[in-house]
Amino acid sequence: MSENILVGKILTGVKIAADKEAMLFQTTAGDIVVRCDADCCSHTWIEHVELPALGFPALVMVAENLDMNKAAEDTDDGDYIQFYGFKITTDRGEIVIDYRNSSNGYYGGSLSWPGSHEGDAEYFYGGVYGQNVSEMQWVEVAP
Radius of gyration of the chain (CA): 15
- Residue 119 reports pLDDT greater than 50: no
Top pLDDT among 106 and 54 is at 54
Closest CA to 140 of 56, 58, 30: 56
Q: Which range has the top average pLDDT, 48-57, 68-77, 103-112?
A: 48-57
Confidence of residue 22 (pLDDT cuts 50, 70, 90): very high
- The pLDDT-based confidence of 32 (bands split at 50, 70, 90) is very high
Q: Which among 135, 125, 4 has a CA at the least distance from the CA of 63?
A: 4
What is the pTM for the complete model shown? 0.86
Confidence of residue 38 (pLDDT cuts 50, 70, 90): confident
Q: What is the mean pLDDT of the chain?
A: 86
- Which of 20-29, 72-81, 88-97 has the least mean pLDDT? 72-81
| Residue 113 or residue 39, greater confidence | 113
> Would you state the pLDDT for residue 117?
55
Closest to 99 measured CA to CA, from 34, 55, 27: 34
| Greatest mean pLDDT among 91-100, 112-121, 126-135 | 91-100
- Nearest 5°: the CA angle 44, 135, 93 is 60
pLDDT, mean of residues 10-28: 97
Q: How many contiguous H segments (helices) and E segments (strands) does the chain have?
A: 0, 10
CB-count exposure of residue 74 (10 Å: 0-12, 13-18, 19+): exposed
